[in-house]
Amino acid sequence: MISKELLSEVLGEEVFEFEIAEDDRTMLWFSTTKDPDIFQAINIHELATKCKEWAFENNFVIKSFCEDDGEHDGGFCGVAEIGKIRFEQYREHEAIFKACQWILDNKVKD
């Protein structure tokens, strides 16, 4: 899904624990930057948008879209592209997270 390191980078705070809520639409996390006894929450699609903004700030443009692959009912809704590199997951936000993880793993450290 998304790594603790990427989540920390995108949110701009040190995340020490996180999970997807039971509704499967909300990311919950605990941070050392804020009160560590109170969880923070963000909609998963809002987080995906923040990830794309983080990628742009790091000089990458992520295009994401749904694509009919002929196999999945209703299409394959998880394609993200960075130039000619393509990331596919079943859900669009998961593809965005995967693309951002690639950026985090491959960007030149200052």
The DSSP-derived string for 23-84 is TSSEEEEEESSS-TTS-EEEEHHHHHHHHHHHHHHTT---EEEEE--SSSTT-EEEEEEETT
Domain count, the chain: 1
Q: Answer whether 61's CB lies under 8 Å from 55's CB.
A: yes
71 has a pLDDT exceeding 80: no
67 has a pLDDT exceeding 90: no
106 has a pLDDT exceeding 70: yes
104 has a pLDDT exceeding 90: yes
CA dist., res. 34 & res. 1, Å (int): 23
pTM over 0.95: no
Q: Quick: pLDDT tens for 2-28.
A: 999 999 999 999 998 999 888 888 999
Q: Quick: pLDDT tens for 35-56.
A: 777 889 999 999 999 999 999 9
Q: Answer whether 31's CB lies under 8 Å from 15's CB.
A: yes
Which domain, by its residues, includes 86? 4-106
